[in-house]
Structure 1
Amino acid sequence: MCDTCGCSSEGGAVLRRPGSEGWHVHLHDGNHGHHHHEHDGHGHHNHHDAHDHHGHQHDTREGQRVVMEQDVLLQNNLLAERNRGWFEGRGVLALNLLSSPGSGKTTLLEKTIPWLGDDCPAAVIEGDQQTMRDAERIDALGVPVIQVNTGTGCHLDAAMVGRAAKEMELPRGAVLFIENVGNLVCPALFDLGEAMKIVIISVTEGDDKPLKYPTMFQEADICILNKTDLLPYVAFDVERCKENAMKVNHRLGWFEVSAATGEGMEAWIAWLHQQIEAQKA
């Protein structure tokens, strides 16, 4: 059980590579910090209720949760810093793509990667609870990809990403897209060692998304509004959504695209090229 968000990581995450039948790497719970058991000085589990010297009971559940959450995030952040140094040492631009399910992250990658050209090698880490569907779609583009299946876990963490990255042959100057598990809550809390967080929302989700999930938008550097080709068919106010996002994070970069039709992709790709060149410098 993840002490930060409550998701279960029982059995650990599994790395898989499309086209390599039988190849998989198990990441056990102890490797990525999901399990943290606390014991008292007598070797017994601490219970929720404690007694003071007068014999009165006090509920300590909240205090334990805070301590355990801090411990989980501390361990993750230490590993994230290692990842960040590893990426920077190789000139790799790592981008963490976050969204709710169905926003079009994989379609955006399918359309983005061919636009990068041969001088900007790309690689992808795919995060999903089960299946290799998205990894297989990326594999069809001919770029390195590893699937991280988290089981019942609801987010990627730094240990998963670090191990997956080391299993890939990332050329110097590559851009590594990390497609996180579809979830607008828990992934916002976990630093993966990325250079930037990019949150993707679609016009089918409602223009109040930034207000309902503020932590994600506070942590993000860029917001991509996807599926703009559907605007004539849905009740979605683009300006209101952008205004809501800027209320939460006034430094947020903003792009409006349709990955399906290619509309707006030029501005997104131009920005991406700028970031890649800056990383190489």
Structure 2
Amino acid sequence: MCVTCGCSDDGEIKITNLETDEAEHHHTHTLPDGTVITHSHSHDTHIEAPQIHAKIHNTTISLEQDILAKNNLLAAQNRGWFKGRNILALNLMSSPGAGKTTLLTQTINDLKNQLSISVIEGDQETANDAKKIKETGSKVIQINTGTGCHLDASMIERGLQELNPPLNSVVMIENVGNLVCPALFDLGELAKVVILSVTEGEDKPLKYPHIFRASNIMILTKIDLLPYVDFDVQKCIEYAREINPQIQIFQVSATTGTGLEKWYAWLIENLKTCQH
């Protein structure tokens, strides 16, 4: 059991390259002394290597600090990798069904002649969303976390080896649908983007403050549905800025295209910043 967020760490992580349809499997096991071991295998090879060496201490806080420290070290390496290649990396987070994949596919289709966008897709199971992204012509890697409820820096490091995004490009990391755990783990991204749909409650920033506090951007999606739902946009914005006064907010509809131009302008401008 992961003491940081409560998800299970005894399971299988699968990274699939949709270009080759080859999958690499990572099995994790927790030993009685608390050491976490990862077994990696692809096809007929089987490699065993320790992923995290964390002994059980007198308190779970010590183990949590060890896990996050290990993650943050790998995240810093990922950040350097992105910076060295002038890559704008974004961590997209939301609850399930908020519209991450729809927004992502629309963004890729609209900007494919201006930006090179590659995707790391995170889900517990299936490659359904990754297949939708592949249809846009974008490079995409699927990471299935099994019982895990978030992506971490180690998964992103392995995913990048398969993805191999080009220089001067954008990497979108679509995290597992969850408004709690993804915010705890730095992946090496330039910015965290939290996506909230109008089909959810406007008080989500108050209920899940950490993810809104940690995010640089909030994208309010499905605004074309506002005439049909009970959602107070102004209250939602006030709540978000109460939690994070610096958060930048975009109101969009991926279906009608409303508001997308401001989101696109932000992407283009920040990619230029990465290139200087």
TM-score between the two structures when normalised by the length of structure 1? 0.88
Q: 2:129 aligns with which of 124, 131, 134?
A: 134
Query: Match for residue 50 of structure 1?
Result: none
For residues 36-64 of structure 1, what are the alpha-carbon distances to aligned partners after superposition, in whole Å with 9 as ceiling and x for unaligned?
A: 342xxxxxxx7xxxxxxxxxxxxxxxx61
Query: Match for residue 103 of structure 1?
Result: 98
Query: Match for residue 177 of structure 1?
Result: 172
SS of alignment partner, residue 167 of structure 1 = helix
Query: Match for residue 119 of structure 2?
Result: 124
1:17 lines up with 2:17 in the alignment: yes
Alpha carbons of structure 1 residues 3 and 36: separation in structure 2 relative to 1, 3 Å: farther
Counting only pairs closer than 5 Å after superposition, residues 214-229 of structure 1 correspond to structure 2 as 214-229=209-224
8 Å CA contact retained: 2:17, 2:163: no
Structure 1 residues not aligned, in runs of 5+ = 39-45, 47-62
Cα root mean square deviation, aligned: 1.5
8 Å CA contact retained: 1:3, 1:34: no
Query: Match for residue 109 of structure 2?
Result: 114
TM-score between the two structures when normalised by the length of structure 2? 0.89
- Identical residues among aligned pairs (%): 53
Query: Match for residue 55 of structure 1?
Result: none
SS of alignment partner, residue 59 of structure 2 = helix
Structure 2 residues not aligned, in runs of 5+ = 29-36, 39-49
Query: Match for residue 57 of structure 1?
Result: none
Distance in 2 separating the partners of 1:65 and 1:102: 33
1:234 lines up with 2:229 in the alignment: yes
Shift of the alpha carbon at 1:87? 0.6
8 Å CA contact retained: 1:95, 1:198: yes
Look at both structures and tell me which one has the larger radius of gyration over its CA atoms: 1
Shift of the alpha carbon at 1:11? 2.9
8 Å CA contact retained: 1:228, 1:258: yes
Shift of the alpha carbon at 1:127? 0.3
Distance in 1 separating the partners of 2:112 and 2:122: 24
Query: Match for residue 54 of structure 2?
Result: 36
Query: Match for residue 3 of structure 1?
Result: 3
- Counting matched residue pairs gives 257
Shift of the alpha carbon at 1:169? 2.4
For residues 65-107 of structure 1, what are the alpha-carbon distances to aligned partners after superposition, in whole Å with 9 as ceiling and x for unaligned?
A: 1111111100000000000000100111100000000000000
Counting only pairs closer than 5 Å after superposition, residues 1-281 of structure 1 correspond to structure 2 as 1-18=1-18, 20-21=20-21, 23-29=22-28, 30=37, 36-38=54-56, 64-281=59-276
Distance in 2 separating the partners of 1:34 and 1:271: 37
Distance in 2 separating the partners of 1:181 and 1:236: 25
